[in-house]
Structure formats: C-alpha cells, structure tokens
Amino acid sequence: MSRKLPALTPDNRAFWQGGEQGRLMIHHCGHCDRWFHPPAPVCSRCCSRSVEPRPVSGKASVYSFTVNRQIWDTALPDPYVVAIVELVEQPGLRFVSNVTDCPVDAVHVGMKVAVHFLAQEDVWIPLFRPEAQS
C-alpha cells in the first residue's frame, strides 16, 4: 500500500531522495568529522554550519526491532518489521526503518542488513534487508 510520505525541505531532501541514485545520504559535520541524524542546517554537537549530506555505505545492523501484529489497516502487510538500524559508519548513528525480504522471525538484534529503496512519488524510502541478499 502507499505509505505516508514526508514533506520535503532543503534539510531533509537528500535523505529522502538520495535513493534515486541508489545512495543513502546522511548529514556530516566537517568540523567534528561526525555523522548526525536527523539532518539539520547546523551540527548539534559543535554548532558548526559546515554540514552537508554525504553518501554512506548503506550497511547497518539491527539495534532493536519489533514485529507488528496489530492490524491497524487491512492494506498494511501482516506482519511487518519496524527496526532501529545502526549504520556501520559510526556508533549511535541510527534511525527507524523496516526490515524486509526475510521471514519476520529471522530478524534479531545485531542482524547485518543493507539498504534498498522503495520509490513512491518523489520519495525513495530507505529500507533494509539481510546483507546476504543484497
């Protein structure tokens, strides 16, 4: 089914549209040489405005997850996995996504996953699947 989509802004556009080129774009601070998320016009750690979206490897591990069993909407898959993935680039660099393309019972904390993208309108939603399948 179609997903709820974000409103695009100069701050979040690279994240939500990087998938068009097959790239996961994450904001990076040139001053502290650190990645951060969600994207913003300033680094919340050092206040530098030398920030820009850069491509990351798309490799991650599952930091936590849940298998949704409640039928919120009959058009949603049943069941489906919501996960917090941590990117390999930096400890603590994580965001909410879905783990797809594997049995829900196979998902576990620490599972190695890789990004793929689901295109909908002008948004490329970054999703993750077991690394072995990528």
Partner 1 sequence: MTMGPFNAAVTGIGQSEVARPSARSGMQLTVDAALLAIADAGLTVADIDGVVCWPGDTDNGSSFSPVGPLALKSVLGIETNWMSGGYEGPGPLTGIINAAMAIGAGLCRNILVFRTITESSARLVDRNAASLANKTAGRDSSFFWQWYTPFNVRSAINLIAMYAQRHFHEYGTTSEQLGWIPVTLRRNAARNPKAIFRDPITIDDYMGSRIISTPLRLLDCDVHCDASTALVVSRGDVARDLRNQPLRIEAVGSALKQPWSWDQISLTEMVTRDVARMMWSRTDYKPENVHMAQLYDGFSILTLMWLEGLGFCGRGEGGAFVEGGTRIALDGILPLNTNGGQLSGGRTHGLGYMHEACLQLWGRAGDRQIEKHDVAVAAAGGGPLGGSVLIVRD
- Measured from the CB atom, the residue of 46 and 88 that comes closer to Zn ion is 46
**Closest of 27, 31, 33 to residue 10, by C-alpha:** 27
| Amino acid letter, residue 34 | R
**Rounded distance between C-alpha atoms, residue 58 and residue 15, angstroms:** 12
Of residues 53 and 97, the one with the C-beta less far from partner 1: 97
Q: Could you give the dihedral angle defined by the CA atoms of residues 44, 49, 55 and 59, in that order, rounded to the nearest 10 degrees?
A: -10
- Residues 89 to 118: which contact partner 1 by CB under 8 A? 94-98, 109
Taking CB under 8 A as the criterion, which residues in 23-82 touch partner 1?
Answer: 37-38, 44, 63-70, 72-73, 76, 80, 82
Q: How far is the CB of 84 from Zn ion (least distance, A)?
A: 23
**What would the two tokens of residue 52 be?**
């820009």
CB of 34 to partner 1, least distance (A): 13
Q: How many CB atoms lie within 10 A of CB 83?
A: 26
Residues lying near partner 1 in the complex (CB under 8 A) = 3-9, 12, 37-38, 44, 63-70, 72-73, 76, 80, 82-84, 94-98, 109, 123, 125
